């Protein structure tokens, strides 16, 4: 094979699916938006040591989305509103329980998310079909329509604007939450509750593309991978978004060429980046822990 033919073959392999099929272009647009919105939120989730809380919240939105589905079918506004409301209710309820009883917040969150997950699966499985249950749990990134793309893009735009406004208090709360509360209680509360709202919104956006079981993957895995390379907060945010996008594109291409389900393949590509970063990163296993910020 000549070099020109090899280049043409490689171009067809990498760009052909996106140039030829509209559903691949919509999936790519959705992944770009999710990478720009979810990955930066995942960075603060990681720095606040709340990664497992993000997983719990991803499951907590399921019953609200299921109720929206039950009332209006596969209606984007109904499922979005239901999922966001359920996530916020679980976040508030777990906080109230943690502050009013001897239970810590992780224990109350675990209890609420398990009940939410069971309730959501029950609602979808008894009122819908097996296909509906699979779509809710594992997403439909290859079936995103224009309305879903506008929703995901809108959430991403709002997230980036909110993070720009809250960047300093969020960074301060990650490093020393007690200091921020002592010098500026209002900004401390705004950073805490604003971040929880952004977390729920981005999980809802991820839910439409990757499903409840996979949505948190595009938050936590790029952030963890970038943390093993970056030396500053700005670099960490940019690298996490770039890694999320690279793994999403690779996952879409592998899914197309191998005829595998897209959502788990995307998360596995994110996992491969994490494994490589863990082995070779500046702060990884091979090069030692290195500098910290």
pLDDT, tens digit, for every residue of 58-84?
Answer: 777 878 887 887 777 667 788 888 888
In the prediction, which pLDDT does 219 show?
92
Confidence of residue 114 (pLDDT cuts 50, 70, 90): confident
Alpha-carbon gap, residue 269 to 248, rounded angstroms: 7
% of the chain residues with pLDDT over 90: 30
Dump pLDDT digits (tens) for 88-97: 888 777 767 7
Token representation of residue 85:
């409301």
pLDDT score recorded for residue 281: 86
Q: What's the pLDDT at 289? A: 52
- Across 48-57, b (16+ Cβ under 10 Å) vs e yields bebbebbbbb
Residue 165 in tokens: 């406004």
The pLDDT score that the predictor gives to residue 88 is: 82
Q: What are phi and psi of 231, to 5 degrees?
A: -120, 0
Q: Give the span between the Cα atoms of 26 and 42, in whole angstroms.
A: 23
Residue 252 — very low, low, confident or very high, per pLDDT cuts 50/70/90?
A: very high
Predicted TM-score (pTM) of the model is 0.85
pLDDT above 70: residue 199 = yes
Residue 102: CB atoms within 10 A of its CB come to 7
Within the chain, residue ranges assigned H as helices are 3-20, 22-47, 51-60, 62-72, 76-100, 105-127, 130-138, 146-175, 177-183, 185-210, 217-227, 233-258, 262-280
Closest CA relative to residue 227, chosen from 181, 176, 289: 289
The pLDDT of residue 288? 57
Distance CA(86)–CA(120), nearest Å, equals 10
Q: How confident is the model over 132-169, as pLDDT tens digits?
A: 666 666 677 888 888 889 999 999 999 999 999 989 88
All structural domains of the chain, each given as residue ranges with its CATH number in brackets, are 15-280 (1.10.3470.10)
Residue holding tokens 């506004």? Answer: 77
Residue 146, number of CB atoms within 10 A of its CB: 9
CA pair distance 152, 248, nearest whole angstrom: 15
């Amino acid at each position: 094979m000549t070099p020109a033919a090899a280049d043409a073959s490689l171009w067809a392999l990498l760009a052909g699916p996106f140039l030829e099929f509209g559903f691949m272009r919509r999936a790519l647009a959705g992944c770009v938006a999710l990478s720009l919105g979810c990955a930066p939120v995942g960075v603060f989730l990681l720095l606040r040591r709340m990664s497992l809380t993000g997983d719990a919240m991803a499951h907590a939105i399921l019953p609200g989305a299921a109720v929206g589905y039950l009332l209006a079918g596969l209606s984007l506004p109904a499922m979005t509103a239901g999922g966001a409301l359920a996530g916020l209710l679980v976040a508030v309820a777990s906080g109230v329980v943690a502050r009013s009883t001897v239970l810590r917040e992780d224990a109350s969150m675990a209890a609420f998310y398990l009940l939410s997950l069971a309730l959501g699966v029950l609602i979808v499985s008894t009122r819908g079909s097996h296909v509906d249950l699979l779509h809710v749990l594992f997403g439909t990134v290859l079936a995103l329509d224009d309305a879903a793309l506008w929703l995901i893009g809108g959430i991403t735009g709002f997230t980036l604007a909110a993070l720009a406004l809250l960047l300093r208090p969020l960074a301060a709360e990650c490093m020393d939450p007690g200091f921020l509360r002592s010098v500026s209680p209002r900004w401390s509360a705004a950073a805490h509750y604003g971040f929880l709202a952004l977390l729920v919104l981005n999980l809802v956006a991820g839910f439409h593309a990757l499903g409840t079981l996979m949505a948190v993957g595009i938050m936590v895995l790029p952030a963890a991978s970038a943390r093993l390379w970056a030396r500053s907060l700005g670099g960490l945010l940019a690298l996490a978004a770039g890694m999320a996008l690279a793994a999403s594109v690779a996952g879409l291409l592998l899914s197309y060429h191998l005829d595998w389900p897209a959502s788990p393949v995307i998360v596995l590509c994110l996992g491969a980046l994490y494994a490589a970063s863990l082995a070779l990163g500046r702060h990884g296993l091979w090069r030692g822990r290195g500098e910290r910020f």
